[in-house]
Amino acid sequence: MNSNKEDKMHEMIDAYINDMMSLKDKLSFESRMEADEILKEEVFIYMSLKESFNEKDWHTLDKRSHGEALQNIKKELKSATLQNVSINVKKAEEEYYNVINKKLNKRKKFYFVAIAASFLLFASINLPYLLGNDSLEDHYNNYADWEGIPSLIEKGDEVAIIEKLYESKDYNAITSHYEIMQNGSETFHAYSLLKVGASYFFNGNYNEALQVFDVFIQLDTIASSRGNWYKLLVYLKQDNKRKTQETLNVILSNKNNYNYKQALKIKKDLK
Amino acid sequence: MQESEKYLQALIDGDNKIILDIYNRFHPKIQVFILRNNGRHEDVQDVFHDALMYLIMKHRESPLQIASFEAYLFTICKNIWRSTLKNKKEWVMKDGVLPLVNKEDSLATFTIEQKHLEFYQEKFQLLSDNCKEILSIYFNGMSYEEIMKDLSYNSINVVRQRVYKCRAKVVQLIKADFRYKKQA
């Protein structure tokens, strides 16, 4: 290509990638690209470079031509090792946000010192009496923290569906979805299971909820002890004293277990 | 042990204390960046987590050699955010609604996009200083006229010729690399 022709081509590419062509010219240039693989490739690289190096832009991937690579990465993200790594990161994240939120709350609390002081005075006088009369249902009401089930980290299709349904409190849809997936022997993301268990619970299907929490515990992830906490909530709700005590003992067998301190308080209150 | 290595190993080992230290030291800066660039608090949480997962995957694949953990983490967070914004824009343009976000899919996609970007950057670094300078500002939207004034060129035509030559050179370097054919 001589210099003039080359310049002309550069000008056209420039106009095309900067979206400065008329519709007619654009269509004509695109059909020219379709007929000329080399030109098409050049334009693609120019476009990629422009999008990649522009701080306010980004070059997005053509997923169709990277299907296998994408599947391999997704498979890796779903592996038990990376799920555990991810749970560890999430755990640190929770601790970080807890501290940040505590700091924020501290500021808010400053304005309510008088009210808080009155409340504490009242509570300190009446607490032994109040606790002494708590039923398991009361304990359930005090400690139920279903909203504390972590949001999902690496969300697969199934995970995203469960997350969305849980947000909209469509518990029936979640349990149906779970049952269909079970029939197909599909595995569920660990945190999805917690939401499935919670959904059975909210629908009053306590036995199914307990079974799902058991599956979660058996997955033996770093977050497994959460499963026992949610089982405890089910037993409290069912007013099942024996199972409540048994589950409390399991949680209290290790200080690192989820909600160890809360379990300790319940144990003391029940004495 | 270098700081970067310490942090990367802690992420892989699940060392809670050091991971918490990563959050304490680096999260605030990322938060400021995302909130200033049309993001919300939930976005900060997602981006930071995905960036750490990206680092973990990369380091597991082959040990990362990075001079500054903070700078690299910031770059990855910034790129994840660029990618998120671009995808949001494309979704809105195509369908008018945002689809249900599949984060696993988006992190996998980002991983390949970042790999392509690093490949382009590697080739870009092989250009002359003048080419790097002129192309950087050209890619960031400066017109030929502005470049002429900014870099004291004699005419727009000279600037245009320079841009064409430098751009052609980087494309030539890209195409000559066997990895380009592999990823195309």
- Model pLDDT, residue A108: 63
Best-predicted range by mean pLDDT (A104-118, B71-85, B86-100): B71-85
Which residues in B lie closer than 8 A to residue A48 (C-beta atoms)? Answer: 116, 120
A120 shares a domain with A232? no
**φ, ψ (nearest 5 deg) of residue A108:** -65, -40
Tell me the pLDDT band of A153, cut-offs 50, 70 and 90: very low
A:B CB pairs within 8 Å: 150
Residue that wins the pLDDT comparison between A154 and A108: A108
A156 shares a domain with A123? no
Partner residue opposite B117 with nearest CB, options A52, A91, A161: A52
d(CA A2, CA B117): 32
The residue of chain A with its CA nearest to that of B167 is A46
- Is A157 contained in some domain? yes
Tell me the pLDDT band of B184, cut-offs 50, 70 and 90: low
Residue B156 contacts A where some CB pair is shorter than 8 Å: no
A192, A193, A198, A199: CA torsion to nearest 10:
70
Please report the residues numbered 115 through 144 in chain B whose beta carbons come closer than 8 angstroms to any beta carbon of chain A: 116-117, 120-121, 124, 135-136, 139-141
Mutate to test the interface with B, among A89, A188, A189 (most CBs of B within 10 A): A89
Nearest CA to B8 out of B86, B77, B68 is that of B68
- Is A214 contained in some domain? yes
How far apart are the CA of A207 and the nearest CA of chain B, in angstroms? 31
pLDDT tens track for A189-234: 777 788 899 999 998 999 999 998 888 887 767 678 889 999 999 9
Please state which of the four CATH numbers 1.10.1740, 3.40.50, 1.10.357, 1.10.3470 is assigned to the domain occupying B1-102. 1.10.1740
A164 shares a domain with A50? no
Please report the residues numbered 73 through 92 in chain B whose beta carbons come closer than 8 angstroms to any beta carbon of chain A: 79, 82-83, 85-87, 90
A266 shares a domain with A167? yes
Question: How many folded domains does chain A comprise?
Answer: 3
- Is A49 contained in some domain? yes
Average pLDDT, chain B: 89
A90:B49 CB<8 A = yes
- Model pLDDT, residue A64: 78
Tell me the pLDDT band of A116, cut-offs 50, 70 and 90: low
- Model pLDDT, residue B96: 47
Residue B159 contacts A where some CB pair is shorter than 8 Å: no
Partner residue opposite B101 with nearest CB, options A54, A89, A160: A160
- Model pLDDT, residue A53: 87
Contacts of residue A157, Cβ cutoff 8 Å, sequence gap at least 6: B102
Average pLDDT, chain A: 81
B49:A77 CB<8 A = no
d(CA A194, CA A153): 14
pLDDT tens track for A126-150: 555 444 456 777 778 778 877 777 6
Mean pLDDT over residues B152-177, rounded? 93
Quick check: B26 pLDDT over 90?
yes
Residue B113 contacts A where some CB pair is shorter than 8 Å: yes
A99 shares a domain with A86? yes
B82:A66 CB<8 A = no
Tell me the pLDDT band of A179, cut-offs 50, 70 and 90: confident
- Looking up residue A233, the CATH number of its domain turns out to be 1.25.40.10
DSSP category for residue B2: -
pLDDT tens track for B92-131: 555 444 444 566 788 999 999 999 999 999 999 999 999 9
d(CA B103, CA A156): 7
Mean pLDDT over residues A146-156, rounded? 60
Alpha carbon distances (Å) from A29 to A3, A12, A22, A36: 20, 8, 10, 10
Best-predicted range by mean pLDDT (A161-170, A189-198, B103-112, B166-175): B166-175
Residue B10 contacts A where some CB pair is shorter than 8 Å: no
Quick check: A41 pLDDT over 50?
yes
- Is A139 contained in some domain? no
A261 shares a domain with A177? yes
A225 shares a domain with A181? yes
Q: Give residue A46's domain range.
A: 3-60
